[in-house]
Structure 1
């Protein structure tokens, strides 16, 4: 099942990149947005529960799909670009096997345990 979810993430990444190449707002902004989505990892400095909450909020499709819907539905075009960057980043992480985090720690995800703790 993990491999299926990784392939799904790869498909989301690929489709997001294709769509961004058509409706995006420049590749410099893409790179900045892509990297900025890991800023919530800093919340782990406040503890694993807060870190997991912040990471999961920024790596859930809910906000990304809301941006896509608003941007595609006549809202500011920047929302469409942000939604595409956001879905690409989530797809990238899922393709690598990185899932939503557990309050037990950063290595514990819905796709399994990361790193040497396996």
Structure 2
């Protein structure tokens, strides 16, 4: 990926992360809930303790923005603030990860993502 394109994609993810903060501020939660919860989706990496295929599937499931949007909209529609919060956190976390180059995973290796290889390839 070219450096200009990489920067453009990171700016787009930054905008989406800021959007998640704005959405969070519309909810009736204390400000400290956001930073406490923002890393919770990474618990999905526990699948890598089994193998890379299950790890990648579980990671991708909880880092897919469509899932986050569906949960968020369901929360708004059902007037369920906890469901809305979960969607906002999933969306914000996925955007934050992608800003740092952590994309959706391929099943062969945690470092092999849709955004390219994480770090230097051995």
TM-score, structure 1 normalization: 0.89
Partner residue in 1 for 2:100: 96
Q: Is 1:3 equivalent to 2:7 in the alignment?
A: yes
Cα-Cα RMSD: 1.7
Q: Does the Cα contact within 8 Å between 1:67 and 1:82 map onto a contact in 2?
A: yes
Q: Is 1:30 equivalent to 2:34 in the alignment?
A: yes
* C-alpha distance after superposition, 1:7-55 (max 9, x if no partner): 2211110011012122252234323321211011121111111110010
- Structure 2: give runs of 5+ residues left out of the alignment: none
Q: Distance in 1 between matches of 2:13 and 2:108?
A: 24
Q: Does the Cα contact within 8 Å between 1:48 and 1:106 map onto a contact in 2?
A: yes
Q: Distance in 1 between matches of 2:103 and 2:81?
A: 29
**1:4, distance to aligned residue in structure 2 (A):** 2.7
What number of residue pairs does the alignment pair up? 118
Corresponding residue to 1:40 among 36, 44, 54: 44
Q: Does the Cα contact within 8 Å between 1:52 and 1:102 map onto a contact in 2?
A: yes
Q: Which has the higher contact order (CA 8 A, sep 6+)?
A: 1
TM-score, structure 2 normalization: 0.86
**1:60, distance to aligned residue in structure 2 (A):** 0.1
Q: Distance in 1 between matches of 2:65 and 2:101?
A: 16
Q: Does the Cα contact within 8 Å between 1:100 and 1:110 map onto a contact in 2?
A: yes
> After TM superposition, where is structure 1 displaced by more than 2 Å over at least 4 residues in a row?
1-5, 24-33
Corresponding residue to 1:112 among 93, 113, 116: 116
- Structure 1: give runs of 5+ residues left out of the alignment: none
